[in-house]
Amino acid sequence: NEARKRIIEDLEKLGFLVKKEKIMHTTPVCWRSKNPVEFIFMEEYYLKQLPFLEDLRKIIDQIEFHPPESKHLLLNWVNSVNVDWPVSRRRFYGTEIPIWYCAKCGKPHLPKPGRYYQPWKEKPPFKECECGSSEFIGETRTFDTWMDSSISQLYVLGYKRDDTLFQKAFPCTLRPQGADIVRTWLYYSILRTYQLFSTPAFKHVRISGMGLDEHGEAMHKSKGNIIWPEPYLEKYGADALRLWGASEAKLGSNYRFSRERLEGSFRFLTKLWNVARFISGFPVENSGFKLTPLDKMILSELYQLVKECELGFEEMDFFIPANAIRNFVWNIFADHYVEAVKARAYNMDKTFKDEEQAGAWETLHVCLKTVLKLLAPICPFLTEAIWCRVYSTQSIHLESFPEPREEWVSEYGQFTKQFMDLNSTIWKYKKSRNMALNEKLKTVYAPKVLEPFHADLKAMHKIENLMFGEPSEEEKKKLDKFGEIYLTV
């Protein structure tokens, strides 16, 4: 603006000004302050990158990306780089550039490595320049912020500080970061490590999406749409927030904040706590137990769960285990298995043999222990609290990750859906007649495939005559048809 005024003054003075008018035109503005941006040519330090782009593409090919498609974010950037990296900045806050210049001949002088220098206020660590002058001027500029961050992984691995650690740990196993700084943090880290060692900086790169506000907008202080986590952490706890974050979107996708869904995670953890409290009432160590088909059914489901979680964690996509665990614990284990096994676990009227009762205890604990270990990386606090109360004085985070055990697999796993459908139908039937869920039923005809579960089903729904298959036409007249099944009180 100052320049414009002066130019007009000069033109007027010289009589060259033809006319003055206001025009509309596009102009770049600062994204934050919205002030117009003016480009001014200045001399700056650059780090060479253009000659290395071809090699960088090869280096990037050796890194495993999670999710795999996030690699293209980086490659697209590498393909669009058309200038070397300007690394000096005229900003007050930043890492000082450690250079002094000879006041006479202008030659730049670098101090010895090993400590941090502030040339703009320190005495120069040199006696004199080759030209004979002993006067130096300290650099006042700072580095681009990524100059430091791009070697953070080397610093953490002990580079130039702890050779033993560095030999063991380099290259870095994993860089976890957001999609917003692929072009900066990730790219420059790979560039710097390549320039120093000619190797990839990381074995794995995990790129997560961004958390957005309720309307799917990025959160900015200037926009006033920031959702502060503290009140939610206070109300629901860190584990609920972590579980919500993990279950919201597949790795690499953005996700919106939702108080309702965060509360849903909190309710799930409360459910898990209550289920654990119920299970903790039964003996942990069991011998001479016998598993019923119902136990084998839930163990088959548990096997599938462990497999799925293993896959998800290997892909570093917590969305998969978070949702699989939630579905297993809430929809299958708590709602159906635990409800069905209660009668046998308590065995009040000695309907079941001792070994079958112990089978229930054993299965409940195997399921809970396994679920806690699977969930521990996502909800470290709640799982630890339950683990240390029920199973061990040693932390759950020192346990090895659960293996899917082949002996859990059985033919009963294929009937889970029919089993759950039957339960739901019976519960709905009782509800439709304003009956309590623990009230007796006279006769129920269940699907033939569920016959192996008869003892547990009978006890669970308090059924006097539990039959399997289609009733005869004569029988049907005495029964209600509810959903797909025939039954009566």
Instruction: List contacts with Zn ion (CB under 5 A).
Output: 102, 104-105, 107, 129, 131, 133
Q: Closest CB to Zn ion among 131 and 437?
A: 131
Tell the smallest beta-carbon distance from residue 134 to Zn ion (Å).
9
Give start and end residues of each alpha helix (H) in 43-102. Answer: 53-61, 71-80
Q: Closest CB to Zn ion among 104 and 271?
A: 104
Tell the smallest beta-carbon distance from residue 126 to Zn ion (Å).
10
Q: Closest CB to Zn ion among 126 and 289?
A: 126
Q: Closest CB to Zn ion among 53 and 105?
A: 105
Tell the smallest beta-carbon distance from residue 57 to Zn ion (Å).
42
Measured CA to CA in angstroms, residue 473 lies from 449, 470, 477, 478 at distances of 21, 9, 7, 9
Q: Which of 162, 251, 152 is nearest to 201 (CA)?
A: 152
Tell the smallest beta-carbon distance from residue 249 to Zn ion (Å).
59
Report yes or no: 240 and 266 within 8 Å, Cβ to Cβ.
yes
Q: Closest CB to Zn ion among 105 and 233?
A: 105
Q: Which of 379, 372, 389 is nearest to 236 (CA)?
A: 379
Tell the smallest beta-carbon distance from residue 122 to Zn ion (Å).
19
Q: Closest CB to Zn ion among 105 and 165?
A: 105
Q: Which of 73, 68, 95, 93 is nearest to 152 (CA)?
A: 95
Torsion region of 358: left, alpha or beta (phi above 0 gives left; psi -120 to 50 gives alpha): alpha
Tell me 329's DSSP state.
Answer: I
Tell the smallest beta-carbon distance from residue 137 to Zn ion (Å).
11
Tell the smallest beta-carbon distance from residue 44 to Zn ion (Å).
22
CA dihedral 450, 455, 458, 460 (to 10 degrees): -100
Edge to edge, the sheet with strand 64-66 lists 64-66, 202-208, 172-178
Q: Which of 387, 379, 363, 236 is nearest to 301 (CA)?
A: 363
User: Distance between CA atoms of 127 and 135, rounded to whole angstroms?
Assistant: 9
Q: Closest CB to Zn ion among 104 and 342?
A: 104
